[in-house]
């Protein structure tokens, strides 16, 4: 951002000292106190001046011979932007009128990013493994900047083209719709070129029709026969590969961020197989819950079950199981779940349960299982009936059962939840998640090896602390707490945040 100082005749003013500060766009109303002075806990210094904010002093930057100064501002997109104020004056002048007369601007977008990679994704929902005949799958290629949080980036001149190779094969009258293998030789092949637009984006679509729409070649099976006679189905597999084009090729794919495999390859399977339970989502009612200090506590989760096409499945039996870390003692952390519940027409069911014990991270897992089998024996919940079956991912959710920190110190742990509205942090610890609260009376320190230059034990404002937390999309930055006393509002605690690359 360029800040210019001009005189009454609009001529540049060189060597003018500048005081520059900012606030989150959603906290602008809290930037100034009732007496017109700056409310520093909500402000971030943007001028590199270590002496202070809202005051002209010897360490403020000055304008160049053109009357300009360039400032680098980090925009808090999650907060709706960042509002920046800049002003000049005489030595020791301070802001006194609530920002009146100060130049200000609300920045809502980050500066253009430089593309150094590309990612490929589809519009198939997470956990969806099949597409129905006649449907269309949209594949999107997006240029990204991996040095800026993998943000979308526009193209650079001469780096806009990608080659797409599609291989298509048909499987008719088969007995299983298992994992589709990639299509290789002997298939229909189509090659075309993608050119990204000004936003660094390009799309193409894939579709397939049923090769046997009347199923005349697909006789019904017989599940009661010995041996069982399976149903017959048809399937079309489309394997595509995206690579930089020979002419004006863009940056290489980042397969770790793409739906493609490590070789830039993905296979879409279109099928007419009957719906089967394929995936589930588990959603809690809150970011965190207080662990009971005695007795039990309650929680409710919503489970949604879908088939391999991503369609909701009604009338499915759902049960829950869970594990707690740490396991706890006296009593052991444990949850008690009700009998099986059935999904409604939206594929969803709300299930309440109780738990005992202390703070923990609970992993709640959804199972597609009744309480008893046809012969009356109890059905055990295991990997074979979890959703999806025989996996360790999907169909689960983490529930943070927290305890309020009572100790004076807390070792560095991941910031699991950050709520700027209530000044609340949930920090991981070996004793389970701990709840701490901060205010403008506390001290905040940051360690950021990713910054240029690197920051080590640098004091920051409350506003800057919250900006760091808001930018942590992976919730893996750590926070340590010292000199903490939750019973004393005048206590000055120290919160040390260490930034970890996402």
Confidence tier at 129 by pLDDT (50, 70, 90): confident
Query: 32 φ, ψ to 5°?
Result: -130, 145
Q: Is the pLDDT of residue 385 over 90?
A: yes
Q: Is the pLDDT of residue 220 over 70?
A: no
Taking residues 154-169, what's their average pLDDT? 91
Confidence tier at 474 by pLDDT (50, 70, 90): confident
Q: Is the pLDDT of residue 53 over 90?
A: no
How confident is the model at residue 1, as a pLDDT? 85
CA 172, distance to chain mean position in Å, is: 40
How confident is the model at residue 49, as a pLDDT? 67
**H/E element holding 197?**
none
Give the separation between CA 168 and CA 184, rounded to whole angstroms.
9
Say which residue, 66 or 47, is predicted with more confidence: 66
How confident is the model at residue 77, as a pLDDT? 73
**Sequence spans of domains, the chain:** 1-110, 117-271, 277-402, 405-498
Residue with tokens 């595509």: 240
Q: Is the pLDDT of residue 139 over 90?
A: yes
| Cβ pair 484, 434 in contact under 8 A | no
The one-character DSSP state at 429 is -
How confident is the model at residue 428, as a pLDDT? 98
Please state, for a pLDDT cut of 70, what percent of the chain lies above it: 94
How confident is the model at residue 225, as a pLDDT? 65
Residue with tokens 């990679």: 117
**What does the pLDDT look like over 338-348, one tens digit per residue?**
999 999 999 99
**Lowest-confidence pick of 90-99, 283-292, 362-371:** 90-99
How confident is the model at residue 223, as a pLDDT? 62
Say which residue, 251 or 74, is predicted with more confidence: 251
Q: Which of 58, 50, 71 is nearest to 17 (CA)?
A: 58
How confident is the model at residue 335, as a pLDDT? 97
How confident is the model at residue 101, as a pLDDT? 84
Taking residues 297-309, what's their average pLDDT? 96
Q: Is the pLDDT of residue 218 over 60?
A: no
Taking residues 48-54, what's their average pLDDT? 74
How confident is the model at residue 93, as a pLDDT? 92
Confirm or reject CATH 1.10.10.10 for domain 277-402, answering yes or no: no
Q: Is the pLDDT of residue 407 over 80?
A: yes
How confident is the model at residue 219, as a pLDDT? 61
Sheet holding 188-195, edge to edge: 131-132, 265-271, 233-244, 161-174, 188-195
Confidence tier at 402 by pLDDT (50, 70, 90): very high
**Lowest-confidence pick of 191-200, 320-329, 416-425, 471-480:** 471-480
How confident is the model at residue 392, as a pLDDT? 86
> How many residues are given for the chain?
502
Give the separation between CA 25 and CA 7, rounded to whole angstroms.
29
Say which residue, 24 or 205, is predicted with more confidence: 205
| Cβ pair 483, 492 in contact under 8 A | yes
How confident is the model at residue 296, as a pLDDT? 96
Confidence tier at 215 by pLDDT (50, 70, 90): low
Confidence tier at 228 by pLDDT (50, 70, 90): low
Say which residue, 78 or 496, is predicted with more confidence: 496
Confirm or reject CATH 3.10.450 for domain 117-271, answering yes or no: no
Confidence tier at 109 by pLDDT (50, 70, 90): low
Confidence tier at 306 by pLDDT (50, 70, 90): very high
How confident is the model at residue 314, as a pLDDT? 97
pTM over 0.75: no
Q: Is the pLDDT of residue 333 over 60?
A: yes
Q: Which of 182, 122, 163, 184 is nearest to 252 (CA)?
A: 163
């Amino acid at each position: 951002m360029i800040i210019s100082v001009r005189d009454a005749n609009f001529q540049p003013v060189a060597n003018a000292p500048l005081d520059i500060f900012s606030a989150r766009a959603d906290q602008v109303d809290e930037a100034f106190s009732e007496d017109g002075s700056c409310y520093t806990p909500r402000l971030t210094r943007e001028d590199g001046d270590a002496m202070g904010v809202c005051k002209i002093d010897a360490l403020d930057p000055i304008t160049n011979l053109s009357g300009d100064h360039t400032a680098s501002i980090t925009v808090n997109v999650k907060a709706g932007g960042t509002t920046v104020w800049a002003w000049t004056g005489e030595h020791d002048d301070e802001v006194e009128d609530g920002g009146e007369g100060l130049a200000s601007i609300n920045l809502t977008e980050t500066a253009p990013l430089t593309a150094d990679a590309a990612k490929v994704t589809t519009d198939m929902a997470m956990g969806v493994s099949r597409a129905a005949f006649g449907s269309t799958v949209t594949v999107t290629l997006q240029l990204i900047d991996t040095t800026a949080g993998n943000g979308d980036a526009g193209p650079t001149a001469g780096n806009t083209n990608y080659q797409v190779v599609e291989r298509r094969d048909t499987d008719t009258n088969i007995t299983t719709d298992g994992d589709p293998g990639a299509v290789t030789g002997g298939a229909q092949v189509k090659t075309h070129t993608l050119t990204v637009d000004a936003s660094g984006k390009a799309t193409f679509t894939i579709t397939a029709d049923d090769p046997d729409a009347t199923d005349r070649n697909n006789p019904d099976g017989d599940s009661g026969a010995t041996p069982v006679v399976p149903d017959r189905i048809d399937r079309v597999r489309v394997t595509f590969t995206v690579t930089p084009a020979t002419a004006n090729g863009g940056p290489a794919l980042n397969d770790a961020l793409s739906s493609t495999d490590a070789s830039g390859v993905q296979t879409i399977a279109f099928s007419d197989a009957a719906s089967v339970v394929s995936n589930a989502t588990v959603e809690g009612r809150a970011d965190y819950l207080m662990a009971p200090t005695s007795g039990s506590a309650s929680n409710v989760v919503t489970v949604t079950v879908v088939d391999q096409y991503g369609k909701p499945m009604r009338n499915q039996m759902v049960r829950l199981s869970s594990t707690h870390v740490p396991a706890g003692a006296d009593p052991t952390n444990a949850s008690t779940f009700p009998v099986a519940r059935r999904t409604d027409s939206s594929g969803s069911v709300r299930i309440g349960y109780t738990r005992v014990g202390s703070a923990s991270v609970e992993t709640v897992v959804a199972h597609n299982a009744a309480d008893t089998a046809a012969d009356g024996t109890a059905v055990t919940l295991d990997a074979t009936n979890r959703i999806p079956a025989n996996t360790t991912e999907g169909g689960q959710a983490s529930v943070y059962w927290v305890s309020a920190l009572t100790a004076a110190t807390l070792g560095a742990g991941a910031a699991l939840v950050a709520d700027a509205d209530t000044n609340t942090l949930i920090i991981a610890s070996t004793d389970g998640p701990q709840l701490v609260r901060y205010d403008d009376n506390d001290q905040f320190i940051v360690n950021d090896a990713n910054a240029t230059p690197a920051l080590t034990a640098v004091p920051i404002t409350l506003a800057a602390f919250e900006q760091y937390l808001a930018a942590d999309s992976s919730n893996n930055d750590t926070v340590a707490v010292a000199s903490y006393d939750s019973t004393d509002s005048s206590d000055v605690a120290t919160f040390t945040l260490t930034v970890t690359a996402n």
